[in-house]
Amino acid sequence: MIQLHDLQFEPYISEEEIEGAVEKISARLNADYKDQNPIFIGVLNGSFMFASEVIKRFKGDCEVSFVKMGSYEGTSTTGTVKTLVGLNQKVEGRKVVILEDIVDTGNTLEEINKILEAENVADYKVATLFFKPEAYKKSLSIAYIGIEIPDKFIVGYGLDYDGLGRNLTQVYKRKE
């Protein structure tokens, strides 16, 4: 059990399970983007650990960029996604892989979709470490899913609760 601010969290997904999910996604990306030069775009802050592990495992040439989006306050989504740091490189005509820590409502993906359509990318796919199918309300395709989880609030491996918990190497869920 761990305490972050005013909430308690209990162990939920082990380092080994996370490692297996990262390996599975990475193997598929290596197969799908063999002999290509994709741009990996990590969605900060949460995806930094996942993005690092996927990019380290990519066997070909690639480029890396990040965007920073914000939609959470405490344990709840605000429903509004703000672009805090936008794209800083040309992606027109390029193949892009979005690296997300978690997809729940899909609001962030919808905002990223608007940005990438405006930038005229050739193609983009989404890779997410965690996916909450119960919470997902959008129709955008998610090509690579590491672990499907119920609609529970989690922290660790890049995910936080009001800034804390990102450095944890396993994932914890909120104690009910």
DSSP SS3 for 147: strand
Establish if 173 belongs to a structural domain.
no
Q: What is the mean pLDDT of residues 48-61?
A: 98
67 near 83, Cβ under 8 Å?
yes
**Omega prior to 113 cis, within 30 of 0:** no
Number of domains in the chain: 1
pLDDT the model gives residue 73: 57
pLDDT the model gives residue 68: 87
Establish if 172 belongs to a structural domain.
no
Q: Residue 99 belongs to a domain with what CATH number?
A: 3.40.50.2020
- What are 89-123's pLDDT values in tens digits? 889 999 999 999 999 999 989 989 998 999 999 99
Establish if 54 belongs to a structural domain.
yes
Residue 32 among the catalytic residues = no
Establish if 175 belongs to a structural domain.
no
Cα–Cα distance, 131 to 104 (Å, whole number) = 6
Strand partners, 164: 161
Share of the chain above pLDDT 70, in %: 91
pLDDT the model gives residue 89: 85
| Sign, CA torsion 83/88/90/91 | negative
pLDDT the model gives residue 88: 76
Find the catalytic residue in 32, 35, 61, 104. Answer: 104
Q: Tokens 């944890």 belong to which residue?
A: 168
99 near 40, Cβ under 8 Å?
yes
Cα–Cα distance, 47 to 128 (Å, whole number) = 9
Establish if 45 belongs to a structural domain.
yes
pLDDT the model gives residue 85: 60
Establish if 153 belongs to a structural domain.
yes
157 near 171, Cβ under 8 Å?
yes
Establish if 81 belongs to a structural domain.
yes
- What are 120-153's pLDDT values in tens digits? 999 999 999 999 999 998 999 999 999 999 999 9
Establish if 145 belongs to a structural domain.
yes
Question: What domain range includes position 7?
Answer: 2-167
53 near 85, Cβ under 8 Å?
no
- What are 60-71's pLDDT values in tens digits? 999 999 998 876
Answer whether 0.85 is exceeded by the pTM.
Answer: yes
Residue 157 has pLDDT above 60, yes or no: yes
